[in-house]
């Protein structure tokens, strides 16, 4: 039987005890109704898993023992940064969840000219915490022991002007001259830019091209923003990552 995996947002040490984060404690105690002695797999995002067990459930607090360290799931050899235009509500959550399951290394949310979502500083900070929780939960489910980095949202223009190039840069465009699936080779690091619900405008596509993003297409159909990135990640991992 597969054990429940729980992310703990502090360094874990074999032989010590730890308190589960509030959300994880609630899920373990109130949803799963686990009690003292129940086994768990714990991880802190460092790349290792730890055998664990519940020591005690005290109201909303769950204490666990941290046991033997084991190697976590190997990460993909293809380091992908997903530069994703922020979409509305659960669409963005779904994108981050599935991108994590597909092994993305880093997620950079961006706000573009046609983005429906607008965020002030306070809203952006709140969204970032929420997205980080989504990613942690996805790691619990899919078996990853390293959390993808979720960066604070930026204006797309600022990202294109300031972000250092990290390997091969690709931008999805229905009018792209080349097919993503037909690329002959790629670097070990890829930046993948996905536009918002209304797509990137011409100025943004020109700016992306000047920043080194090569336009590529996925096929004859126009995909939703939350679909396009996930399909593209699947293709990249199948071609050069760990979905082979």
Residues 161 and 225 in one domain: yes
- Domain residues for the domain of 14 are 5-71
Residues 9 and 87 in one domain: no
Q: What is the signed CA dihedral for 199, 200, 202, 205, rounded to 10 degrees?
A: -130
pLDDT at 148: 97
Eight-state DSSP code of residue 120: -
pLDDT at 100: 98
17 and 55 Cβ atoms separated by less than 8 Å: yes
Residues 86 and 159 in one domain: yes
Residues 192 and 104 in one domain: yes
Report the domain count for the chain.
2
Q: How far apart are CA 181 and CA 228, in angstroms?
A: 13
135 and 107 Cβ atoms separated by less than 8 Å: yes
Residues 152 and 87 in one domain: yes
Residues 47 and 131 in one domain: no
pLDDT at 70: 94
pLDDT at 45: 94
pLDDT at 114: 84
Residues 115 and 33 in one domain: no
Residues of the chain with pLDDT under 50: none
Residues 100 and 196 in one domain: yes
pLDDT at 174: 87
Prediction pTM value = 0.92
Half-sphere exposure of residue 7: CA atoms within 13 angstroms, side-chain side: 22
């Amino acid at each position: 039987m597969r054990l429940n995996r729980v992310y703990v947002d502090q360094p874990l040490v074999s032989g010590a005890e730890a308190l589960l984060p509030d959300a994880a404690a609630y899920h373990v105690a109130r949803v799963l109704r686990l009690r003292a002695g129940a086994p768990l797999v714990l991880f802190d995002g460092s790349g290792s898993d730890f055998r664990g067990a519940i020591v005690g459930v005290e109201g909303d607090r769950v204490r666990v023992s941290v046991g033997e360290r084991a190697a976590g799931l190997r990460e993909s050899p293809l380091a992908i940064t997903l530069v994703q235009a922020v979409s509305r509500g659960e669409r963005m959550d779904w994108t981050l969840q599935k991108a994590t399951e597909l092994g993305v290394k880093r997620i950079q949310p961006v706000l573009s000219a046609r983005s429906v979502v607008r965020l002030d500083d306070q809203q952006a900070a709140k969204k970032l915490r929420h997205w980080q929780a989504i990613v942690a939960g996805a790691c619990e489910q899919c078996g990853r022991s390293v959390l993808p980095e979720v960066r604070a949202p930026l204006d797309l223009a600022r990202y294109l002007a300031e972000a250092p190039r990290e390997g091969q840069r690709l931008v999805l465009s229905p009018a792209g001259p080349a097919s993503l699936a037909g690329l002959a080779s790629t670097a070990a690091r890829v930046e993948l830019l996905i536009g918002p619900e209304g797509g990137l405008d011409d100025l943004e596509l020109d700016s992306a091209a000047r920043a080194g993003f090569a336009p590529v297409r996925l096929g004859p159909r126009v995909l939703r923003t939350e679909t396009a990135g996930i399909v593209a990640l699947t293709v990249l991992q199948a071609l050069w990552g760990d979905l082979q």
